[in-house]
Structure 1
Amino acid sequence: MDTHTPTRTETGTGSGGPDLRHHGDVEVRDDGSALVDLAVNVRADTPPAWLREHVAASLGSLAAYPDGRAARAAVAARHGLPVERVLLTAGAAEAFVLLARALKVRRPVVVHPQFTEPEAALRDAGHTVGRVLLRAADGFRLDAGAVPEDADLVVVGNPTNPTSVLHPADVLASLARPGRTLVVDEAFMDAVPGEREALAGRTDVPGLVVLRSLTKTWGLAGLRIGYVLADPETIVELERAQPLWPVSTPALAAAEVCVAPRALAEAAHAAHRIAADRDRLVAGLAEFAGAGVRVAGPAEGPFVLVAVPHASAVRRRLRDLGYAVRRGDTFPGLGEGWLRLAVRDRTTTDGFLRALERAVATTAGEAEPPRAEWEKTAQAEPA
């Protein structure tokens, strides 16, 4: 098999293959340890005080049913869109469920490796899901020609979790076809300086659906708030699939203030800081090249994907040393030789790199280095 050509495989509605329900929060809970969290891609030290105070102020309105009009208008204004093109959701994860249940599609395809909830939601809705598996040898870059022409729903992340690849907007837009819904998950786009390659706000791409999350940059994973940007007809279909009052009053309050000019300026500043912190992490990881550690890239998100010999043993040893990282083998297209690391501040990164040095040294003799994880796509499922 040509290792430089993205391949497509099929999977049914069964439970075989990677655990699509495994997420980074599992790595930092349930064992009572106080671990430094590099497993969850939520910005550290969030939510900020001003956001906590704003959300707290909304609690006096809990006796009334949620009214999302102001928040919806604020999101629309933030992207220069009419409100008819906006739907507020209980996080981006709810949006994937709505898309899977509401849209009448015959041939859904998910581009992997990426966030696993889109495929999980499609499977739960009874769909047979096609996979386009991108290869490490190609830097996990998207080849639009690998997407089947008959796919009527295509899901891709940008920047992609867990690879941290930022796909060019024009390549993504080229996936649009008559009769096709193109879903672009931009949950981490506000962590990219200038939000370059964003499609949010575009109305010239037929069938485009963009998902955004406010939980990552603002530390609101426990509040659940995100939104969908799409043509009015699609918004109506998705809204019909929602329960009544799906977004709580505190979440609506957060949405309204997080798209205000002050918050956008703070997020833009944070994006530049994240980029600098990521550069430091990547530079530190480069020191382990002699031990077979390699960073997929170039990384553009608030996390990096790393090929590590004996990755499972290294991950366990890192836990012993007080650091939680995200295993990679639950992402279709990756295998046991991969770890995902959230970008953290300089002090945390330096401490992690010291721990990684110890972990790599103490696990070097446990197994053969999984070099194939980098040289070819890891564990692609048979067609």
Structure 2
Amino acid sequence: MSLDLGHHGDTEVGPGLIDLAVNVRHEPMPPWLAQPLMSSLSDLKAYPQAEKATAAVALRHGRVSEEVLLTAGAAQGFVLLAQALRGANHPVVVHPQFTEPEAALLNAGHVVDRVLLREEDGFRLKKEDVPDDADLVFVGNPTNPTSVLHPAAEIAALARPGRVLVVDEAFSDTTFREGVAGEPESLASRRDLPGLVVLRSLTKTWGLAGLRIGYLLGPADLLKRLAAAQPLWAVSTPALAAALACASPTAIAAEREIARRLAADRAHLLRRLGEVPKVTVAGAPASAFVSVRLQGADKIRLELRERGYAVRRGDTFPGLGADWLRLAVRDTATTDAFVETLTAVIEEQA
């Protein structure tokens, strides 16, 4: 069955709707980020210069600047990989996950092989799921839309000479584990794994989806190839200011605190969903969203829309289907009101 790989959560949002469809945090911008962004507007007469922001991102992840490539959003990173690595013989995308990697590969002329993770396994990746001869592999961690966080060791075991392993960590800064100082299961600082490319986004936690800023981390020689496929001055001056600010110790400490609070809000959402009849939560959610299975989800989504809630349909994700929805984690009051509405809709349609 052909899926609409270009469908994204923003398509679900509309005037007057409470947004549970887009995985972007809804909070005011902190002054340490707003001020550099506003100041950057006075520099727009000059072409963007990425050196300072690149160095700051490299320092954050214990790398050198040559191992960082700033991009106009994480999605641009998928396009660069697909275009620059046209010589790949066996590209593999691990699903269910964000659909842009496969869309970018197909648009670049690749023949894509899908690895479908199973609900009965909690949508957890096993290294033996990936074919041995795959030379370009895409996997999300934590994975959109299932919110599953795979063990770093399991993903690291996929790295090998002759293979480019792309790990989409766009939501890594949303993860939290008690007693762990940084981002659990992240490979962003691993420089010892052959062919590892880690993709990151700054748009989720800091509400910068409209600014378009992300980056790739990986071997310098490979990133040089990707940079050659990138348009000149691809990252704007305001986006560079955001990258510089978000790599600061202040930003990193704020991210960890936001992730801690998000974990509490997610736990509340999961408790409330556990009270709803006929709803099954996918895997063990670890990020800013959860996926749920319920019969007739396609009709329920439309009824929720009539009652003021936008949720993300699941049938455009390979490996899911019409009985799946993705829900963004919001504050407890929003969750409580939504769960009451969802329960009423399910009961009415029973």
TM-score, normalization by structure 2: 0.97
CA drift of 1:320 comes to: 1.1
Higher mean alpha-carbon deviation, 46-55 vs 350-359, is at 46-55
Partner of 1:380: none
Partner of 1:224: 212
Gaps of 5+ in 1: 1-15, 365-383
Partner of 1:374: none
Partner of 2:107: 124
Contact residue 74 and residue 199 of structure 2 kept, 8 A: yes
Q: 1-side partners of 2:81 and 2:349: how far apart? A: 43
Q: 1-side partners of 2:222 and 2:252: how far apart? A: 27
Q: How many residue pairs align between the two structures? A: 344
CA drift of 1:46 comes to: 4.3
Q: 2-side partners of 1:286 and 1:344: how far apart? A: 16
CA drift of 1:54 comes to: 2.0
Q: Is residue 149 of structure 2 the alignment partner of residue 166 of structure 1?
A: yes
Aligned alpha-carbon RMSD (Å):
0.9
- Of the candidates 56, 59, 71, which is equivalent to residue 89 of structure 1? 71
1:109-188 mapped onto 2 (5 Å cutoff): 109-188=92-171
Q: 2-side partners of 1:188 and 1:177: how far apart? A: 24
- Of the candidates 17, 20, 26, which is equivalent to residue 35 of structure 1? 17
Contact residue 20 and residue 331 of structure 1 kept, 8 A: yes
The one-letter amino acid paired with 2:93 is V
Partner of 2:327: 341
Partner of 1:243: 231
The one-letter amino acid paired with 2:210 is G
Contact residue 119 and residue 283 of structure 2 kept, 8 A: no
Partner of 2:203: 215
Higher mean alpha-carbon deviation, 118-127 vs 300-309, is at 300-309
Partner of 1:311: 297
- Identity over aligned pairs, percent: 61
The one-letter amino acid paired with 1:232 is A
Partner of 1:200: 188
Q: Is residue 15 of structure 2 the alignment partner of residue 20 of structure 1?
A: no
CA drift of 1:49 comes to: 4.2
Q: Is residue 306 of structure 2 the alignment partner of residue 320 of structure 1?
A: yes
Q: 2-side partners of 1:50 and 1:201: how far apart? A: 25
Gaps of 5+ in 2: 177-181
The one-letter amino acid paired with 1:71 is A
Q: 2-side partners of 1:351 and 1:210: how far apart? A: 37
The one-letter amino acid paired with 1:306 is V
- Of the candidates 317, 337, 347, which is equivalent to residue 331 of structure 1? 317
Moved over 4 A (4+): none
CA drift of 1:52 comes to: 2.4
Q: 2-side partners of 1:157 and 1:109: how far apart? A: 12
The one-letter amino acid paired with 1:309 is Q
- Of the candidates 261, 272, 282, which is equivalent to residue 260 of structure 2? 272
Contact residue 164 and residue 301 of structure 1 kept, 8 A: yes
Cα-to-partner distance string for 1:180-201 (whole Å, 9 max, x where unaligned): 0000000000011231100001
- Secondary structure in structure 2 of the residue aligned to 1:195: coil
